[in-house]
Each structure stands twice: as structure tokens, then as C-alpha cells.
Structure 1
């Protein structure tokens, strides 16, 4: 048989572990795995490289359309090019930051239109759960093809912007969970206690606090743990499948593990930045590293790594949430936008920090960046290197340190807390459905073959 592509001589991460083998691709799908596969129109020599499933980043924000309010934030064009360069072949897009927020059929269609001819990678969508879409919006989103839902227990959105996102109060959370349970899809939750964190932040600001250290102190660990418990309790009452986003403390992970052991359908993620930075270095870096939940201390970080390596955290995401430079350029950390631009450095940083520095197995690496999120959100053609799946790969050059520079970034605004950091691995090539969308030699391709994934 003649194939379109054969990737030869790489160390390939399969479902049962890594093996040096070849992969054949036909019509965008993985057609065969093994040696002596035959002829192909193109042969890619992956000798010395690790061939992993392309990353499925289950938590990413694109602000397209910006609704004239956020037109200069990250759009599909730059955001998906950054994905390609970073080894991310598909992602789950959050329903907020774009205007209008994705909360019903009309806003979902507006989002799809905004992405036409701009996608370098594949995109699945979250629909929002907000207090104002409980009379049909949940069902419209399900029919429109969202892969899952997202809500905030923390304060979010700008009430001066019509159509912006809004956090769910307890009633909206309860009623929304009942409705989402009927769809069978997962509700992803930003779990922070808004009443307490808002008030603590207000008090710190009035007392003249300006530092990121003080900002972290205004969002203590228990303000994550309490809403995680509450969300789990509501899930038990409603039968809704849930996922806790960007858990930043081991205590939060423990609540999820306990509930799962009791039979609750709940998973959680953490983010690359919680495993890389710690509180002691935040003020030296500046507000570009501000996010919520906040980046906690070194002891907390060590505890999070223990949870990752024990398998209690289902997957790792970027929570890529960039803004314009003026919203980060603040003397007072409490006034700065909370969100980190990180999608381009998910794979290389995690490979370095997890596999190379901490001995994470390659199978676990592939599971936490690709297989587990694809399975959780039913992206059934994604997430693993096996026959019949989409031919989505990232080729990683191990033990190849480089220093990230701003000009390396594909983001619309060249902001990242990783700038100036030495990263010990490199993305050599990214392949989406059999087509190279990034290589070190050629850069990001102009083909824009990405598609919206409808469920």
C-alpha cells in the first residue's frame, strides 16, 4: 500500500508505552504502525526525536470576536499559530473573553463565523453556563455542537459590556447542572469563593497593598477548597458530570480524588504555570504572571507535582488567557488583568519539567497532554497514536535547551512569563491530520487547515 506520509525512526508514544517504530498516514488518519510499512509520497525522519500525540489543550481563551471592546486581544489567527508552534494540535476554547460570550445558538454561530479561514489547529468549544441562559440557552448550545460547558463560581465578566460572561450564583449552578446532566456532557468549573476573595482583595487594596505576594494572600487555599466541595455536592444532587479547572493546591485535588473514589463523575486539571513558578518569584517577574487561582508557594508546588505523578490530576492545560499590554502594565498588581499567555510553551516546558527533570514516563506525559483530555471531552478522533485516529503529532527534540525570546512568540501581544527562561526541550515539528503545520526549518505554515469540532 502507498501512504501519504511515513514518519520513520522516532521514539513513538503509543497507548501501552514508547517504542522505536514507524507511523504511516493516509487521508489524514493513522493507517499503520510498525516497521517496513512500504512506500509514501513523503518520508519524515524522526531519528532522535520523541513522537507524541499532539497536545489537546483543554483550557484556552481566544478573544474573537472582540466586539469592539477586545479587538486587540488574542484572536484565532495568532492564537492557533502559537498552538501550532507549541505542539498543540487541538484545544477546547472557553466561552468567555470574546464578545458576545458563547451562551446560546446565536453567539455560538457568531464565534464559528469569526474563526473561518483563521484556524491553524482544530478547535472544540465550551458553551457557557450563566444566570441568563437557563431558559433554553443550554439546550441550544448542546444542539450547536459544544463539547462541554463552563461556569465560574468566582467573579468574572465586565457588567458594562453587553453580552459579556457572568459568574453563576448557587441557584444558577444548581439549575444549570440539572440541565447539563440531561445532555450527558461535562461541566467545567472555575472554583473560587467569590464573596471571600473579592472582599479580601478589596481590603488589601484599601490597605495599600500592591504586590503579587499580597494578591496571592488575598486568595488563600481554603477559598479554592470550599467551592470545589460545594460543586461536588451539587453534582451529587443533580447527577451532572463535572471537571474542576486549573486546581492550584493539593488540598483541592484531594477533594476531587475523595469524591471520585465515592463514585462521583469528577476530574480535575492543573496548569503548566502552577508547576513551574512559585510565589517567591512573582513580583520580580511582574503582573504578566498574575492569574487566578494564584500561583502559590514552593511547598504547594511540590505537592502539586506529587499529585500529577500519582495520577490524581487528569490533565494539564495552559489556561492561555492573554490581554493587551496596557492591562498588564500596572504598578499595582491588584489592578492588573489576571491571565497568563502560555499555550506556546505547554509541551516543551512540561516535557522538560516532567519527563527530563522528574522522571515522568512518556506514557504519562502523553496521557496528561492528550489522551485524557480527549477522552474526558469525547474528542474521539484525537488524543492518541493508534490506527484510525487523526494523524496529529508533535515531534519533540529532547535535551535541547534554548532561551525563549519575545520574538519567538506567535501571540498577537508578545507577553509571556516564560520569556528569558531556558527550556530544556524543543518542538521540532507539529503535524495536524497528516499535514505539517509547523517545523523548525519552515516556521508556522500558512495553510490554516484547522476545523471546528462539533459534538
Structure 2
């Protein structure tokens, strides 16, 4: 064996128990009892109190590389490793060029080469210009496709009309792939008053829940009519959860995600001028937050991913919501942010791992990660669920020190992260 990890608590088959995990050439080859005997080159004993978990998988990350000076593969994957995240999937939107062609995908892979501490996959983009020509991107290895139903904010990444969206779904279905949907209705947003000033209510009113509800309803009908695998990204509202629940009850096969910021914050948490909280769709009410947690509990929502969408600080509008870029920086803290809220609501590490490891991996088509099992990659993290730590934005490894989590005390701490059995992060101080 190359490596054996022994833990009093390891998450195996949905339960926490003592175990020894044996690794050869980056793959788990045996899961035995805690005292199982192996001939190993190296052994690691997980400290008492910590849990050996599958590495987290974040299937919604905006790296923007090559492109603007917002985030890079080196900084993003370093932050991911420190957060216990062993695989991320990059969104096609914020890089230059956007990932809507094989040439753009090749450019992104070239920039990432040799700079990544964790595994990286890529979503391809669907825009009106490449409808009917998605096969080359699929052949080149994208994990699936992402589209917008409203203005993306990027002139190089146009949104789809309802008719174009249906055509994209049929094409993606023929490819046997998955279509990720930014579900806000373009017409509803166009009719809404644009945000302005330092009041968060202005920003909230500019992106009403009705925009999300109408777009999710359209996605449900397109999924029903085409048989495509449709996935709704960053669900934010109680009404959208209700639409998805009704679709599931009616036999429509869809998946959906929400994000740490919707599960952590509510409108009253956003201070005047707090543009670091601006996201699209927006953070909503306490009732919406509670509905999202209920949606996770009953399976209407499948997973939680960061939607790490950073920008340079000067693009956050200096407190003016009308001038603020809509995106939240959270990659390194996202598992701990979710765990802080989940633990307080009675959930355990098994649910955390299902939402943030197993199901995002499945969405992206990976069967070799997101769980600790024979044949799986040895992508693992040592996680102390009871530790607490204050977030200091300047200490995070994101390219820019700007996040709404700055100053918050979060529960959980990552002691160590392995990718294919190699240590990619180890905390300097670990309690014995």
C-alpha cells in the first residue's frame, strides 16, 4: 500500500464508523477495520474528534482564467484545498474567451496546466451562436453545458430565448449530457426597476422571485417535453422550491442546487451599502431560507455548491447596489458555512457530504469520487466538525479579500486534504 489512513470516525456508506482506508496509486483499494493490518509505505492516524470525509466537490465555480484579474486557477485551487474541496468544475462565463468553443476550452486548459492543487473539470457554455454545434465541446470533454435565460451580464455570453432553450435541451439530450440553467426570466427582469443606491431593498426588488419562478416553470416544461437532464443552478426562493416539488411529484426528472449564501444569510443580514452580499438571484427572506433547508431535507434540492463568483473589489460599486457586480466570493469557506447552519438544524456530516460531495460529483458525471469506497479516488479530507474558527478575509487564498463571511465564526475546520492520496493541504496546527 502507498498510504493507509486510520480514523476513529470515517464516513463510509452513509454512516460514521472506525475504519482504515488503504490507497494504491491514488485509488482506494480496501476499506477495513480500524486495526486492519497492511504493509504500507506511509500511515496517517486521523486525530480524535476529526472525521475522515470524502473530499468535497464544488460543481459551480467561476475561475475567470484566462480573463479579468478576478480569480485564477492557482488561487482558486489553493483556496479549494484549504476548504477540503478536492474537485471543482469551472463555469464557462467569466473567462476570456468564454467557453463556448473547443478553442476556448483548450485555452483555459492551457492556463490551468501545472497550476492546480485539486482536480478541475469544465462546463461548456450554450449561447445562440453555438446552438446545433455542441458536439465538439462534448467530444472535448466538458462535463455538461450551462445556459442563461436572462442577461448574463457578459456581452460575450448571450442568454437563450425560450425557443432556443428548448432547442438546446433537445441537443443536450441527444448528446446524453446535462444542461445547467441560470433560471431567471429575462422579461420579468427587464420590467423590474433597476437597482440604485445603498439600500439592499432596491437590489432585491430588481430581481423578484417571480423571475426565478417563471424561469423554473419553463425549465420544468422543457425537461418534460424533451426528456433532457435539466439542472437548476442557485435556487434562492421558496416559490421556486414549490415549483420543483410539484414537478418531481409529477414525475419530471430534474435536479437542483442551492448555495451557502442563501442558506446562511437573509435580507436583514445585509447592511446598508453591503454590496459584498450582492448575488444573482439575490439573498431573500428568512422564510425563503427556511424553505431551502426544507427542500434539502426532503430531496427537492439535491446539492449545495458555492457559486464562487468573485470580482475585483472596485467592481462591487463602493456600496452602490446599482453599480455592483453580482457575485459572492466563498469557495474556501463554503463547506464550513453550510456545516455551521446544518449542524444547528440537526443535520450530520453524512448529509453534508451527500449535498457537497456525492451529488455534485454525480451531476458532473463522476462515479469515482464523492464517497469513500473501494475503486474510488483517494480524494479525502480530515474535518473537525466541532472546531470553530473566525473568517478573516485577508487570510483566505482567494485572489481578492472580499466576502460577506468576513468576521463570522464558522463551525468546522479542515486539518488535511488529499487528492489521489497526495497531501495538498495540511494545517500547521492540529489538535491531537
Give the TM bin, normalised by the shorter chain: over 0.9
Q: Deviations over 1:307-356 (max 9, x none)?
A: 112222110000000000100142311210000011101111222221x2
Which consecutive unaligned segments of at least 5 residues does structure 2 have?
A: none
State which of 2, 13, 16 in structure 2 corresponds to 1:15.
13
Number of the residue aligned with 2:200: 212
Q: Deviations over 1:417-438 (max 9, x none)?
A: 1110001211111111101111
State which of 388, 395, 399 in structure 1 corresponds to 2:375.
388
Q: Secondary structure at the match of 2:270?
A: helix
Residues 92 and 125 of structure 1 are in contact (CA less than 8 Å); yes or no, is this contact kept in structure 2? yes
Number of the residue aligned with 2:64: 63
How far 1:42 sits from its partner (Å)? 1.7
Residues 213 and 282 of structure 1 are in contact (CA less than 8 Å); yes or no, is this contact kept in structure 2? no
Residues 102 and 108 of structure 1 are in contact (CA less than 8 Å); yes or no, is this contact kept in structure 2? yes
Quote the RMSD (CA, aligned, Å).
1.6
Alignment of 1:10-409 (within 5 A): 10-35=8-33, 36-46=36-46, 47-66=48-67, 70=68, 72-136=69-133, 138-159=134-155, 164-202=156-194, 204-205=195-196, 209-284=197-272, 286-354=274-342, 356-409=343-396
Q: Matched residues in 2 for 1:44 and 1:353: separation?
A: 30
Q: Matched residues in 1 for 2:8 and 2:362: separation?
A: 25
Q: Deviations over 1:13-35 (max 9, x none)?
A: 11231112121111100111122
Number of the residue aligned with 1:446: none
Q: Matched residues in 2 for 1:109 and 1:394: separation?
A: 30
Q: Deviations over 1:132-186 (max 9, x none)?
A: 11142x1111111111110011211433xxxx22211222212111111101111
Q: Matched residues in 2 for 1:431 and 1:266: separation?
A: 32
How far 1:79 sits from its partner (Å)? 0.7
CA shift in 2, pair 1:336/1:280, >3 Å? same
Q: Deviations over 1:99-142 (max 9, x none)?
A: 11111211111111111111111111111110111142x11111
How far 1:397 sits from its partner (Å)? 1.1
CA shift in 2, pair 1:384/1:390, >3 Å? same
Residues 22 and 37 of structure 1 are in contact (CA less than 8 Å); yes or no, is this contact kept in structure 2? no
Q: Matched residues in 2 for 1:296 and 1:432: separation?
A: 36
Residues 201 and 215 of structure 1 are in contact (CA less than 8 Å); yes or no, is this contact kept in structure 2? no
- Structure 1 stretch 74-83 or stretch 257-266: which is displaced more? 257-266
Q: Matched residues in 1 for 2:318 and 2:310: separation?
A: 15
- The TM-score with structure 1 as length reference comes to 0.91
Q: Deviations over 1:382-401 (max 9, x none)?
A: 11110010001121112211
- Structure 1 stretch 114-123 or stretch 34-43: which is displaced more? 34-43
Q: Matched residues in 2 for 1:232 and 1:285: separation?
A: 36
Q: Secondary structure at the match of 2:387?
A: coil
- The TM-score with structure 2 as length reference comes to 0.95
Residues 311 and 327 of structure 2 are in contact (CA less than 8 Å); yes or no, is this contact kept in structure 1? yes
How far 1:285 sits from its partner (Å)? 7.1
Residues 201 and 334 of structure 1 are in contact (CA less than 8 Å); yes or no, is this contact kept in structure 2? no
Q: Matched residues in 1 for 2:21 and 2:273: separation?
A: 42
Q: Matched residues in 1 for 2:272 and 2:414: separation?
A: 28
Q: Matched residues in 2 for 1:329 and 1:249: separation?
A: 25
Which consecutive unaligned segments of at least 5 residues does structure 1 have?
A: 444-455
Q: Secondary structure at the match of 1:30?
A: strand
Q: Matched residues in 2 for 1:314 and 1:135: separation?
A: 29
Number of the residue aligned with 1:449: none
Residues 63 and 90 of structure 2 are in contact (CA less than 8 Å); yes or no, is this contact kept in structure 1? yes
Residues 62 and 94 of structure 2 are in contact (CA less than 8 Å); yes or no, is this contact kept in structure 1? yes
Q: Secondary structure at the match of 1:425?
A: strand
